[in-house]
Structure 1
Amino acid sequence: MPSTLPDGDPAPASGELPDSALSGLGERPFGFYVHVPFCVTRCGYCDFNTYTAAELGPGASHRDYADTVVEEIRLARRVLGQAHLPVETVFFGGGTPTLLPPEDLARILTAIDSEFGLRPDAEVTTEANPESVDPSYLDKLLHGGFNRISFGMQSAREHVLQVLDRRHTPGRAAQAVREAKEAGFEHVNLDLIYSTPGESDDDWRASLAAAIEAGPDHVSAYSLIVEDGTRLAARIKRGELPMPDDDVAADRYQIADEMLTGAGLHWYEVSNWAVSEAARCRHNLLYWTGGDWWAAGPGAHSHVGGTRWWNVKHPAAYAQRLASGASPAHAREVLSGDDREAERLMLELRLVSGYPVAEVAPAARTSVAGALGRGLLEPEAFRSGRMVLTLKGRLLADALIRDLLV
């Protein structure tokens, strides 16, 4: 089943935000996320808010979706007022955004530009299933204003893809990268997943080698997480598949870092590698460095000035809210100053730029010294006043962050 929404305070039907959120609006980077919740089939590991045709039900359709999202973009302009908010990044995620016609994606992007204005150098990304695009589609995307594309490769081994319930053939992702580059996309990402049940070290090395050979300028690699309520979790519970092993995942991460670094892709966030600063995902960096973003679409989560809210989950309910002139927001929370600082530490410590040593809470200074002594932090960066993770530190980042959040 699609993911559930978190608890929170009721969101006003007007979408109005508190004064604290609007304070400083325009001084922070601003981006847009557009959620497209449609998939041909549901991958066994996925708990995202997505729907196949059989799950969608009445009241929502692919055909009308772009029009509905445009209505939320217009709502965003009304809620945020007349503040100058040129959009630095736009990211279409899902689901599979490229199940919509490229003209629909371009129409949504045009609405964002019309209401807010895109910066001349704006990064505009869409995720894509490798099987959902062809050269003609990619050409239309490029001419519609997109300049970055992210393909879900996951693995180059057929038996691993089968465990994940991925439907594309092993070589299709690499071919899609080549087609995107030939169409004129300067920035292309491949997503990989490691420590899938049944995957060997050799399988993982083969997937990395295939990704590198395809020539993207960015690679994301994530350890498989078994989410409750997914088909994969049910198979593991029945004993059909083993639970992924943390030690195996650590070994696979080290293999990834070795091979990607050797190929000229360098880490800039724990799970992300790029060939240059220009190739880094600016949209994700906006998330990780405390920017503002409006997220359109069912179940999408927005953040502006310390206020976070999330939309109703089902596409039919989402469409109904907007058709009646109401905000699709389901609930929200206003983060305290302490909450925002904790999130800042959690996110910035995962970046190659690190976190300022001087801003660590006094009660956590012993943990910082211990991390330095255990080789989790780069000594040279530390002497310059920054906490930057070593490779060992990246493997233990979650535990270190818990120690620092005292």
Structure 2
Amino acid sequence: MSQTSIPASTTTLQAANWSGYIPILLSLAPSSLSSPVAPRPLHRMISRMTYLHIALNEEVMQLFEFAPATAGQKELLVREEPPDDDDNHKDESICDSGEASASDGAVAAASDDKSNDAIRDKSGQNETDQKDIEQKADTAESTGAQPISKKYPTCWFEDEESGQPLRWHLFIGVLYDAMKGRAVLKQSHSFCPSDESATLLPWRIRVHFTSYPPTILPFEIQPPSKKDTTVEHTNQISTTISRTFRNSLKQALFMQYTSSKVANSITKSSHEKMWNAILTTNYTLYHEVNGSLQMGTLSSEADKQVAGAAVPELIPVRVLVNGNSPMQRPCRAFRDADENIMLQTIKQQCETEENGEETTEDEKTLDNLVERLTTCSIRPQTSLGNVLLSWLPQYFDVVDETIVAKSFVYYSIQGIQPNLSCSILDLWRSLCHPDHFLYVVVITND
């Protein structure tokens, strides 16, 4: 069994796919505004191949300046150690002494002096504590750690048009395709459909710092582990999302190779190289690792001849229907001889008989045809239509031996609508996301 490199045409398509950007308009949600004047929306170009929290990190911090002081501080910050009981007692004693001095204005001067002395003692202690805090902040800054005031706040993103919360663990391109699908179907029901490009771009997104919705996963920021010593992992956001990406990649590789051996064999430097490629939208860097992972080994030379390169037998696919949680499973790159091929062969056999050509009795029997089909050296490739018809028979149908989408069904891969007859293998090799899944977005009018 041999391996060959990925065809040059495929790498060209992959590079073009990585160069895709989406113009957005990011604004602060009114419910998260504390300032009398709202900040101006921010225009940005963000890559389809990254995540919202990664692409909009700096913009979130800018808009957070206009949020309430208590917003974004409860759930998703790195949890700090609670204060000692002694410190709590100190704060309580300070408040108590202040209240007592305010209410007892007619008390003797000796009693006032004692209270004032106590307050001065506590104030001196507070000044000492403040100096300690400043020293800790200076130490954190010198070591590269984020100061407390710069911690990433609790926030979530919303599609302004539909009001739907956006899932932070999905790639930006997948989120946009789902939003676009809803808009396209909405326009198809309108009597006066407007220009699609005028209504969908720029993509309008709101950022919230309050009322985190229960319908999306909590964004639990985790501190970097002791093993993560590189600069890329010192950022809390990067650390959290990179772990999510790595888990998704492991799932895809397990489906692809039916074993965890390949995923476990990826070195730390390779993982870091792939993640840095996502952070910087660098396809060349990503391909240095992906080039070997996306190849497989085929036992059949005929399959290799059809595919054009050594590829895995199984393709990891995720299908998202109407924004719900994705369905994921491995799909076979090649199909065994099925009923369609069998019927086609029988039809050809009948045409041969009608033309008066001589045929033997054995060639006329169905058993002989089945045997010829099952021993055929070249297997047909699985198409996108085969996958969608198998997974979503309520939305796809067969008309005149051709798989078609039913009325008011929108589907897309990386922002385009490939023909349902396209090979799932070719689509995966050219249009899969960095986690090796081929994402298919399906939107219906249900």
TM-score bracket for this pair, using the shorter chain length: under 0.3
- In proportion to residue count, which structure has more strand? 1
Whichever of the two has the greater Rg, that structure is 2
After TM superposition, the score normalised by the length of structure 2 is: 0.23
